[in-house]
Amino acid sequence: MEFKQFYLGCLSQASYYIGSGEEAVVIDPRRDVDEYIAEADAQGQKIRYVIETHSHADFVSGHTELAARTGAEIIFGKSAVTRFPARKISDGDEVMVGDVRLRFMETPGHTPESISIVAEDLSDAKAPKKMFTGDTLFIGDVGRPDLIGSKGRTAEEMASLLYDSLHEKILTFPDETEVYPAHGAGSLCGKSLSKETWSTLGEQRKFNYAVQPMSKSEFVRLVATGQPEVPMYFPKSAAKNLEGPRSLEDVPRPRRLSTNEVLAFEGVVIDVRKNFEYGAGHIPNSINIGLGGQFASWAGTLIPIGTPIAIVAGSQEQLDEAVTRLARVGHETVQGSILFSEYEGDQAAVEQMTCPATNEYVTSGRNCQFIDVRRPGEYEGGHAPGTISKPLDKLASNLDGLDPAAPTFVICQGGYRSSIACGILENAGFNELYNVTGGTAAWIEAALPVEK
């Protein structure tokens, strides 16, 4: 068996290539599919199947493009309502890829059509089985059951199905079974995902809070509450994946903008450079969503799909990367671009303030406001004294109680989200902004006061 995990840190997303003999299969492909085709070419194999464990909400998949380019058959769970040709599989169905047997299990709970796949190398009797669990079982967590409320099922109903899928199917396999999920830490498809990208069922039985011995009612209460916010692009990505995304080659490319054109652009201008570069000087009213963090997820969370977008970058490579990463979450309306070195107009700035300097200012008695834009759970776990909790995903619509004329300090966990927030606040008319460098992590490291 040839096996490879492709892990995309920007989306905390994993996809998989399994090859045997002259055949191969790809599980949960991301939208840009060239790497899978290159892997097949390198192995001298033909991709026969493209398998989706479910209709993904957090990214747009490449299943239809990969199938069109390779002649592969697309496989979904039988409950998936697709608008393109696909084989719909049920419990116990099998396909062979060379000497590898793939057996399917229906494992609803995260979504109704969720499936898990068990791969067994028949040429090596000693090799442990590999289980591809999609968003049903993560490393350290399980899939959230609250993403399909619009389909008429409650989170509690889905959590009940999830419990059955785990205990009647997945957890019946031996401890040495290897577990390969669709996501890792940073994904909003669960609430406590591990940084590890694979594990074994034995390790999950020991350390995964959600599969410890408990009644179904306890499990439902545990996983149906306390989930993070649902980004507004999730339903659109899920729908697009069932409709059949168009090829990346068919997504319009942005045209180069002049200084006057970018200043007059009617849409959202995203500066993809690092936060300190943005802070030193940027196009007025642009928003800094840096390529160095979870760029695509935050662009999908904060900017409605269909909004006209212009990209500001430090290089052509950054521009090209930004367009691809935006397409991964369904943003196909990047209309313009400009390199910051080509921009000739007035600039705005956001001062980067160290934690000690921030603490000195905000405790001096001078008029100011101190905003923490992390998620509620992060804030409750420990925050700088005097901060106002304004989670980033709701900041633009939650400015009540803030004074645009007051000096405003913004903090997150490491300085990435706070730089995004500074751009949002600048657009809202705040004119004296300070991004706290290093965020709450640096605040704690500096032994400054923390409240819980």
2-243 and 351-445: identical CATH topology: no
The average pLDDT across 202-211 equals 96
- The pLDDT score that the predictor gives to residue 227 is 81
- pLDDT of 57 reads 92
Burial annotation 92-103 (CB, 10 A radius, 16+ → b, else e): ebebebbebbbb
The whole-number pLDDT of residue 279 equals 97
Confidence label for 187 from pLDDT (cuts 50, 70 and 90): confident
Residue 226 in this model has a pLDDT that exceeds 90: no
Which residues, in sequence order, are CB contacts of 109 under 8 Å at separation 6+? Answer: 136, 142, 143, 145, 158, 159, 161, 162, 163, 164, 165, 166
| CATH numeric code, 2-243 | 3.60.15.10
Q: Strand, helix or coil at 390?
A: coil
What is the rounded average pLDDT of the residues 189-207? 91
Question: What digits encode the pLDDT tens for the residues 18-54?
Answer: 999 999 999 999 999 999 999 999 999 999 999 999 9
Give the Cα separation of 257 and 287 in Å (integer). Answer: 17
What single string gives the DSSP state of each residue in 185-214?
TT-TTSSS--S-S-EEHHHHHHH-GGGSS-
Amino acid at residue number 4: K
- In angstroms, rounded to a whole number, what is the distance separating the alpha carbons of residues 52 and 46? 18
In this predicted structure, the answer to whether residue 385 has a pLDDT above a threshold of 70 is: yes
Around Cβ 161, how many Cβ atoms within 10 Å? 19
Q: What value does the mean pLDDT take over residues 243-253? A: 93
CATH class (in words) of the domain with range 351-445: alpha beta
- Return the number of other C-beta atoms located less than 10 Å from residue 149's C-beta: 13
Architecture of the domain whose range is 251-342: 3-Layer(aba) Sandwich (3.40)
In Å, the largest CA–CA distance within the chain is 73
Write out pLDDT tens, residues 266-305: 999 999 999 999 999 999 999 999 998 899 999 999 999 9
C-alpha to C-alpha distances, 366 to 354, 369, 406, 407, nearest whole angstrom: 17, 10, 10, 9
| Average predicted confidence (pLDDT) for the chain | 95
The SS3 call for residue 69 is helix
**What pLDDT score does 58 carry?**
92
pLDDT for residue 192 is more than 80: no
Express each pLDDT in 159-184 by its tens digit: 999 999 999 999 999 999 999 999 99
Grade residue 229 by pLDDT with cuts at 50, 70 and 90.
Answer: confident
Residue 427: which of 389, 388, 395, 400 has the closest Cα? 395
pLDDT at residue number 149: 54
pLDDT value, residue 442 = 97
pLDDT tier at 151, thresholds 50, 70, 90:
low
In the predicted model, is pLDDT for residue 371 greater than 90? Answer: yes
The type of residue at 27 is I
> Distance from CA of residue 9 to its chain's centroid?
8
**Cα(303)–Cα(393) distance, rounded to whole angstroms?**
10
Per-residue confidence (pLDDT) for residue 97, from 0 to 100? 97
How many of the other CB atoms lie within 10 Å of CB of 250?
A: 9
Residue type, 8: L
| pLDDT at res. 449 | 96
Query: What are the residue boundaries of the structural domains of the chain, listed by start?
Result: 2-243, 251-342, 351-445
pLDDT, tens only, 297-326: 999 999 999 999 999 999 999 999 999 999
Place 216 in a pLDDT band, splitting at 50, 70 and 90: very high
Round to whole Å and give the CA distance between 193 and 11: 13
Pair 436, 410: CB distance under 8 Å: yes
